[in-house]
Chains A and B, each alone.
Chain A
Amino acid sequence: MTPESIPLSLFAPQLPIAGALAGALLAGMFSKHRSGTLARIIGAAGVLAGSALLFWGPPYADTWLVRAGGIARAWQLFFHLAALAFLASHRAQGEQPVALLLAALLGMDLIAAANDLLALYLGLELMSLPTYLLVYGLKPQKRSLEAAVKYFFAGGAASGMFLFGLSIWYAGTGTTALAPGGMLDRGPSSAASLAFVLMGSAALFKVGAFPFHFWLPDVYEASEPELGAFMSTAVKAAGFLMLMLLSIGHSSFDPIGNSGALFPNLGAWLPVVSVATMTVGNLLALRQTNLRRLLGYSSIAHVGTLLSAVWVWQAGGHGEELATIWFYLGATLFMNTGAFLFLKLAGISQVSELRGYGSRAPWAAAFFALMLLSLGGIPPTSGFLAKFYVVWDLLKGGGIGLAAAVAFNSLLGLGYYLNLIRVMALEEPGQRTPAEPPRPDAGTALVLLCCAAAATVGFLPEAREWLFTLMTL
């Protein structure tokens, strides 16, 4: 059967981004010294145009390879937002980082739109390869090279496993479509489960879940903070999207109706992985002295919470759980970006440098404290609201044990978040504390303002409903 042709208009939102990619590279050729800013402007314009096209672009379409509109559009909007944050706060010289970022963005858009396992694999590769280079490219030195190599090999092994899983799936069902049926009609066979686990492991690797999390702290420690922010928000979200796509399959993937699971056996082991991830993330974060590494482990801990939210979504499948996941990812986007950018602007990487920073730069310290409170889940902040929704869904979905684990882990989390606030506020400034407060420029200041505003959304319990209606316009 020859697949019917796919109109190019389906890719309308992605075209401006590709154009910007090319434009950025061209800009590099012409003006050597100002290529960085020029590239960033072109890139930002491309991404904004892409996002605009997302809303007024092609109507809902569902071809064999890709989809457009509906849920795909929501995820793509999220990725564009994260990319914009990176472009606004990134300051390197050359134009390659902008180009690599746009390529990774295209990969993520492809994952969001994938209707076929192969498209998913391509999206994964297109997202991962530029990110490996970005880790080294932004600040070429021994440490970032080491991180890039580690990231490459771990990513390579994961995509190898994904591919092998795909081949088993193809061998069994003869198609690579993300639709249930085929092998499943004869009941959940062991081959289908093996295929799913291998593909799922790749997703878990991208997200940084327990058995596959070892690379994450090293990469976050050595790479530039704005890349760390990008990875801990956009790349993590793409990983979760892959996991959800695999676990549900596409056809019944409309968020309103309940799900016909492609791989029903996800429910058994996901809670185990989620609790393990949470606990490992928090326990290891307790002992960290490097702030970026600490934020890495804290991101792992948040992944654990999100995994339990995915488990509830996968078991129940109503729209509310999806909105919880979106809200949590949204909150993480603002929290992590704020935290990482603070580290970049303040030029702080060690906890000892943070000692007494409150008296040196009160407003910056207050901002970082707000971010930490949000990461820790203290009530007036959006972090609390996100965690509250997860606990709420878990209790509704019957996951009492998981809810208790989430609550206990947030207490563990407070151990290191509050400790940072204590060090920053209560200690006397040490000799390594930076003297003058940070001076953000316009772009970064805008991003920081958004992070601060988003952090205080804890007052509005309806925030999740508004986000859901916005995303499914």
Chain B
Amino acid sequence: MLLTWLWLAPAAAMLVVWALPSRRLSRAAALAVSAGVLAYSLWLLAPYAAGEGLLRLEESGRAGPLGIRYHLAVDGIALPLCWLTALLSALSIAASWKADVPNAFWASFLGLESALMGVFLSRDLFYFFIFWDMALVPMFFIIGLWGSEGRRKAALKFALYTFLGSLSLLIGLAALATFHHGATGVWTWDMGELTRTPVMGRAAIWIYAALALGFAVKIPVFPLHNWLPDAHTEAPAAGSVMLAGSMLKMGLFGFLRILLPVFPELSAAALPFLGGLGVVNILYGAFCAMAQSDLKRLVAFTSVSHLGFCLVGIFSLTAAGIAGGSLQMLNHGLSTGGLFLLVGMLYERAHRRGLSDFGALASRTPVFAFFFCFILLSSIGLPGLNGFVGEMLSLAGMAQVSRLLAALGLLGAVLAAAWGLPAFQAVFWAPPGTDSVSDKIADLDLRERAILWVLLVLILWIGLYPRPLLELMEPAVSALAQR
């Protein structure tokens, strides 16, 4: 029952928080619960993180006739993501402390957290899918109800794209189970068993394509990314932190957890295609980010670029690459989550997001400038901070396979400087423009500084000493790596 509490506690708390009479009470309860879940996840999983003991921490119920079994487990790749989700939920709730929103706002965050925990923990494809779709409903309401001006259109587009993806995922999963039954005569949805029997033949390609499409919409991969900028820009700050922080990782997690182990040869065959798409993601995200005039939309496109690095890493199918990819998932959560928090704080004060709306903030709000510069550098991939470790490992992994893709991926690092620094300079260094609101912006208060210091310490720690995390991922990664 230990693992079940990770997703059951926030789900139960969601109902309680929603029903509480006063808004302040429900806000406090939400923060308490999310902090509790974070502490619990750290306490529960930390001792196991050290040794091989991870897979022993498993729970599974009786297998029903359909072969569906309630089966939770955690391994090297899922563990950091659980921590990340718990951390970001707590931080985003703390960050939107001053927002005047109904109880449902806090309840949907807890619902989102429980669904994400479910996705990262479940080893059974059916429950994986249930949690996968359950994560979309709260996010739809977060974007739709409490977003900024264009929220309705963004919420609808978000819903349309993600449901298209999840439908393709449903078909793929069901077909995979039937195919597996055809091959072995056993009905099972458990990832462990599915990996044992190789899936071959033409049908496997169709199943692989359906699953890949389902995951690709969520990452998002280049052609299917159109929902991301609108969803991120219109979502409230805390919403985009959760969306960028952990929701985008569901797709990559799906690749790592389902496609790579169950279809090793097909993944190897798809390497140039999907690796190439990863590189396209990197460059396309960077180019679009360069041309944005809205700060939040710029950060949204950088997510596309960062996840491109994850994709390149994962689809290099080398131990270094996959370790880099999964580490970059974590880093992206921290740095882009941090950036969204900062932009949220800016929006909270001035209700404006344009690059030209601010100016010379470095002199007015030096603390804010320091945090923004630090987290932006981590997002650009400055060595010594966490972004660099993920990108370097992913590209080094890909370099072992195809030097061209690695070189093009590295080009993304140059473009990162091209979108990062001008944005920083426009907001903090350039003199205030005509309609600038810089004079209205006060510096960060204690609460905001505490939140950002947490992120700062993590970013610096992973940057300077990533070894414990990499050793944590080692068993799960070497299982997937093919070279």
**Chain A residues with a Cβ under 8 A of chain B:** 362, 373, 378-380, 384, 388, 391-392, 395-396, 400, 403-404, 407-408, 410-411, 414, 418-419, 422, 425-427, 458-459, 461-462, 465
Contact = CB atoms under 8 A, between A and B. Distances in A.
A359 B66 CA distance: 42
Nearest to A358: B145
Interface string B63-77: 011101000000000
Interface in B122-151: 126, 129-130, 132-134, 136-137, 140-141, 144-145, 151
B66 A414 contact: no
Contacts of A404: 171
Contacts of B166: 379
Nearest to B159: A418
Nearest to A320: B65
Interface string B162-179: 011011101100110110
A403 B144 contact: no
B174 A384 contact: no
B64 A461 contact: yes
Contacts of A407: 167-168, 170-171
B156 A418 contact: yes
Given A388-B170, A411-B167, A426 B133 contact: no
A395 B177 CA distance: 10
Nearest to B187: A396
Given A392-B178, A396-B178, A458-B130, 17 more contacts: A378-B133, A379-B130, A379-B132, A380-B137, A388-B174, A391-B170, A392-B66, A407-B171, A408-B167, A418-B156, A419-B156, A422-B144, A426-B145, A427-B152, A459-B130, A461-B68, A465-B65
Nearest to B189: A461
Given A396-B178, A425-B145, A461 B137 contact: no
Contact of B171 (A362, A403, A418): A403
A3 B444 CA distance: 92
B256 interface: no
B45 interface: no
A373 B66 CA distance: 24
B64 A462 contact: yes
A392 B174 contact: yes
Contact of B126 (A362, A461, A465): A461
Nearest to A461: B68
Contacts of A465: 64-65
A373 B137 CA distance: 9
Contacts of A419: 156
Contacts of B174: 388, 391-392, 395, 403
A383 to B, nearest CB: 12
Contacts of B171: 391, 403-404, 407
Contact of B133 (A384, A391, A418): A384
B155 interface: yes
A425 B141 contact: yes
A326 to B, nearest CB: 15
Contacts of A395: 174-175, 178
Interface residues of B, number: 35
A422 B152 contact: yes
A379 B141 contact: no
21 contacts: A378-B137, A379-B134, A380-B133, A384-B133, A392-B178, A396-B181, A407-B167, A407-B168, A408-B167, A414-B160, A414-B163, A418-B140, A418-B156, A418-B163, A422-B144, A422-B152, A422-B155, A425-B145, A461-B68, A462-B64, A462-B66
Contact of A379 (B104, B133, B160): B133
A18 to B, nearest CB: 40
A282 B53 CA distance: 51
Contacts of B144: 422, 425-426
Contacts of A388: 170, 174
A370 to B, nearest CB: 10
A403 B170 CA distance: 11
Nearest to A384: B133
A410 B169 CA distance: 14
A411 B163 contact: yes
Contact of A422 (B66, B156, B170, B181): B156
Contacts of A418: 140, 156, 159, 163
A411 B177 CA distance: 22
Contact of A426 (B65, B151, B167): B151
Contacts of B164: 411
Nearest to B115: A380
Contact of B130 (A362, A380, A462): A380
Contacts of A422: 144, 152, 155-156
Contacts of A426: 144-145, 151-152, 155
A278 to B, nearest CB: 14
Q: Which of B133, B145, B168 has the most CB of A within 10 A?
A: B133
Interface in B221-252: none
Q: Which of A414, A422, A461, A462 has the most CB of B within 10 A?
A: A461
Given A422-B144, A426-B151, A414 B130 contact: no
Nearest to B65: A465
B87 to A, nearest CB: 25
Contacts of A384: 133
B70 to A, nearest CB: 9
Contacts of A392: 66, 174, 177-178
B121 to A, nearest CB: 15
Contacts of A362: 104
A392 B66 CA distance: 10
B259 to A, nearest CB: 19
B64 A379 contact: no
B223 to A, nearest CB: 18
A410 B145 CA distance: 24
B65 A462 contact: yes
Contacts of B152: 422, 426-427
B151 A461 contact: no
Nearest to A419: B156
Contacts of B104: 362
A427 B153 CA distance: 12
B202 to A, nearest CB: 13
A356 to B, nearest CB: 11
Nearest to B64: A462
Contacts of B137: 373, 378, 380
Nearest to B166: A379
Contacts of B133: 378-380, 384
A387 to B, nearest CB: 9
Interface in B16-67: 64-66
B171 to A, nearest CB: 5
A435 B104 CA distance: 21
Nearest to A458: B130
